[in-house]
Amino acid sequence: MKVEDVKVVGVLGAGTMGAGIAQVCAMAGFEVVLRDIEDRFLERGLNNIRKSLEKFAAKGKLSEDVETIMGRIKPTTKLEDLADVDLVIEAIIENMEVKKETFRQLNEIVKREDAIFASNTSTLSITEMAAVTRKPENFVGIHFMNPVPVMKGVEIVRGLLTSDETLEFAVEFTKKLGKEPVVCRDSPGFISNRILMPWINEGIWVLYEGVATKEEIDRGMRLFTNVPMGPLELADLIGLDICLAAIETLHRELGDKYRPCPLLKQMVQAGLLGRKTGRGFYDYTQK
């Protein structure tokens, strides 16, 4: 398939990543079917998309009005409504079995024989997901960064059976969205999280061991490395549950040097997940 053949993109999941993916696809002129399991998740996702578009409009960064772009996004709770899509991008819960079951169902639903299936997973195996689909050569990882509308980089992950044509499609598609693709092979954590998550985890270990306060850890890393956010601030932005899932995958696949800090596990158990719950390493309820 060529990028110019794509008219309708299906996006699975209306959370932070899925909503962002739906937004950039709609901004690029594609019709989008945005699916989540409950209306309340869709409503929240659509509200977040509208707010983001309004910010872009206020800065003069939209070539069309907000309503035109929003009109391209069709929300649904029915997986069957993805029957006529040309490309599916999955951005649901970071659980391999749930993802595989979703793709098994899509095998029976999506009509187009040469449709491309893609996953936005940050750490899980593209090859394993592709194995349950009818054409694993048409399966590829397209891993966007958060926040999707702002971040330029996208990881294009080649599974064991991903074809050259599918890889080229993914590269050209992300360029069509105004992104800059970086290609890698299927490996736990790929490039971004293979490097980023141990950095975040080590920051949590430094806090756990009492080496420094959270404020000094983050301030120090901003000053020492010129990054915009320290590891604990970034963990709060990403979501501590997402960080833990990624680190546990690295630990399971690559060994003990990736062992998650006990403090991270405790905070997830306590429901302190970062910005999305109002509290993580920092309190956002007063801001």
Given 48, 119, 125, 143, which residue is catalytic?
Answer: 143
Given 155, 192, 201, 248, which residue is catalytic?
Answer: 155
Given 122, 138, 192, 201, which residue is catalytic?
Answer: 122
pTM here? 0.92
Is 43 one of the catalytic residues? no
- Residue 94 is labelled as binding a ligand: yes
Is 143 one of the catalytic residues? yes
CATH class, range 3-185: alpha beta
d(CA 205, CA 13): 32
- Residue 276 is labelled as binding a ligand: yes
Q: What is the pLDDT of residues 56-94, one digit of tens each?
A: 999 999 999 999 999 999 999 999 999 999 999 999 999
pLDDT at 286: 81
Write out the two tokens for 27: 């901004």
pLDDT at 287: 59
- Secondary structure (DSSP) of 24-69: HHHHTT-EEEEE-SSHHHHHHHHHHHHHHHHHHHHTT--SS-HHHH
- Residue 74 is labelled as binding a ligand: no
d(CA 69, CA 75): 13
Give Cβ neighbours of residue 221 (< 8 Å, ≥ 6 apart). 203, 227, 230, 231
Given 48, 193, 201, 248, which residue is catalytic?
Answer: 193
- Residue 20 is labelled as binding a ligand: no
Using CA atoms, how far residue 108 sits from 78, 158, 224, in Å, is 14, 24, 52
- Residue 17 is labelled as binding a ligand: yes
Q: What is the CATH number of domain 193-275?
A: 1.10.1040.10
pLDDT at 1: 87
- Residue 36 is labelled as binding a ligand: yes
- Residue 111 is labelled as binding a ligand: no
Beta carbons of 268 and 245 less than 8 angstroms apart:
no
What stretches in the chain show pLDDT beneath 70? 287
Q: Which helix (H) or strand (E) holds 128?
A: helix 126-130
Is 90 one of the catalytic residues? no
Is 155 one of the catalytic residues? yes
| Every domain of the chain and the residues it spans | 3-185, 193-275
- Single out the residue of 68, 81, 70, 67 nearest to residue 36, CA to CA: 81
